Amino acid sequence: MALITKAVRGTRDVLPGESQELRWLERVALETAEAFGYFEIRTPVFEHTELFERSVGDTTDVVQKEMYTFRDKGDRSITLRPEGTAGVARACLEHGLLAEALPQKVSYITTCYRYEKPQSGRQREFTQFGVECFGAASPAADAELISLATTFYATVGLESYRLEINSIGCPACRAHYLDELRKYFRTREDNLCPTCLDRLDRNPMRILDCKSPICAAEAALAPRITEYLCEECAAHFTGVKTLLEQLEIPYMVNPRVVRGLDYYTRTVFEFVSELPQTDGLVIGAGGRYDGLIEELGGQHLPSLGFGLGLDRSWMHLRAAEAALPERRRCDLFLATRGETALAAAARYAFELRGDGVMALYDVTGRSLKAQMKYADKVKARFTAVLGEEELACGTAKLKHMADGSEETISLSNFAEELEQHLLHSEEASLFELFSGFESIKEDS
């Protein structure tokens, strides 16, 4: 029979054998965030559409063209989150977290949805590691936030990227800049792509990061926001740069980094891949959004955050052939002969699994030979055969598959003896450092 349907365009399945790599990235991400005082928050995948119109901005490409918006059966306008910050800010306001000791720091792993043209590194469903720090106005908060991202990259072994930073000012100084920018591009209207012509009125800063080479050529000579910053914004930007230098975090100032979302103020930054295979891909981005909480109905609360693309980090790591955790191997395969032995194997496996050991036995009724073939396929470290003989004498031969050596172990003390062997076998993989196996090692 033919398949009913295929996955929706712009979505990607993560298969067994790959998923442990992403799970490891997610785990390192949240644990790195915790070391910086951020705790995980989980918010719904969909929100009222109005939330994104108000926060992301109703003139942005994201809101105008890219959102998955629908009416639910109660006739509410609902949107799948196109980014992580708005929902998290909404949740923190709703639950009074912003009335507690500040800054309030939260982290999350989240899927986001944007109806964009799929291409390498850009899916319509994507996963982000995000953090938000509410209630911190000082440049020290910006530098600390950026150092959290670089610590995460360093911990997972992600190299060959650059950090680009910019300041897009506050609403006061930006208004003046936008006027100048419009004036500049108006004289060059004939050279702009249709999208940028459309941006000229509502969002001229976005012309600066247009990918069209003709627009880019015009943008190269455009006025730079950094020359229009008010005194406070300029001092803030200088503060951020000085602190990054003190933390020895390399960066370059790129006046064309503007980000596409309305809520950003002052510092914005991007992490850009420099690998040949993923060159120019933005693997993470963030910035300050001092006006967002007020926009959502809270008090004025300077805040900032980032979203690092986990799919993109993963692509980058794979392209770099970095060390990634392998799928966990079977610790023990119990091959069986006969019904009684199968029942015994099930009991031993039950006990071992309770201790975090991956123990398998045959549930398909295969011959002993076929069972051993399967044990090879799942790369079992140890195998043992259980039959009437073994059950009668109360011992079984434990075979170490790496070197073929065998040892007789007592069935009455099966779990304990096996775990001792597992401890001393030398094939600990990267993944096991993060699995339940670790706790066995610590306990004994």
Which residues would be at the binding site for Zn ion (CB under 5 A)? 169-170, 173, 193, 196, 210, 212, 215, 230, 233
Q: Which residues pair with 132 in a beta bridge?
A: 106, 305
Rg (CA), the chain: 28
The upper half-sphere exposure of residue 46, i.e. CA atoms within 13 Å in the direction of its Cβ, equals: 13
Burial group, residue 14, by CB count within 10 angstroms (0-12, 13-18, 19+): middle
Please state, in angstroms and rounded to a whole number, the distance separating the CA atoms of residues 240 and 243.
5
- Min dist CB 281 to Zn ion, Å, is 19
Please state, in angstroms and rounded to a whole number, the distance separating the CA atoms of residues 161 and 273.
4
- Min dist CB 226 to Zn ion, Å, is 11
Q: Give the residue with the Cβ less far from Zn ion, 256 or 399.
A: 256
- Min dist CB 59 to Zn ion, Å, is 16
Residue 295 · residue 55 · CB < 8 Å: yes
Q: Give the residue with the Cβ less far from Zn ion, 112 or 196.
A: 196
Burial group, residue 175, by CB count within 10 angstroms (0-12, 13-18, 19+): exposed
Please state, in angstroms and rounded to a whole number, the distance separating the CA atoms of residues 125 and 115.
9
Q: Give the residue with the Cβ less far from Zn ion, 9 or 211.
A: 211
- Min dist CB 234 to Zn ion, Å, is 8
- Min dist CB 128 to Zn ion, Å, is 26
Q: Give the residue with the Cβ less far from Zn ion, 81 or 241.
A: 241
Q: Give the residue with the Cβ less far from Zn ion, 145 or 170.
A: 170
φ, ψ at 181 (rounded to 5°): -65, -45
- Min dist CB 231 to Zn ion, Å, is 8
User: Is the peptide bond prior to 103 cis by the omega test (within 30 degrees of 0)?
Assistant: yes
- Min dist CB 240 to Zn ion, Å, is 14
- Min dist CB 256 to Zn ion, Å, is 12
Residue 55 · residue 263 · CB < 8 Å: yes
Residue 336 · residue 345 · CB < 8 Å: yes
Q: Give the residue with the Cβ less far from Zn ion, 233 or 308.
A: 233
- Min dist CB 236 to Zn ion, Å, is 8
Q: Give the residue with the Cβ less far from Zn ion, 74 or 194.
A: 194
Q: Which residues contact 270 (CB under 8 A, 6 or more apart)?
A: 163, 164, 254, 257, 259, 282, 284, 285
Using DSSP, state whether 18 is helix, strand or coil: coil
Residue 334 · residue 303 · CB < 8 Å: no
Q: Give the residue with the Cβ less far from Zn ion, 214 or 247.
A: 214
- Buried b or exposed e, range 346-365, using 16+ CB within 10 angstroms: eebbeebeebebbbbbbeee
Residue 107 · residue 30 · CB < 8 Å: yes
- Min dist CB 91 to Zn ion, Å, is 29
Q: Give the residue with the Cβ less far from Zn ion, 204 or 309.
A: 204
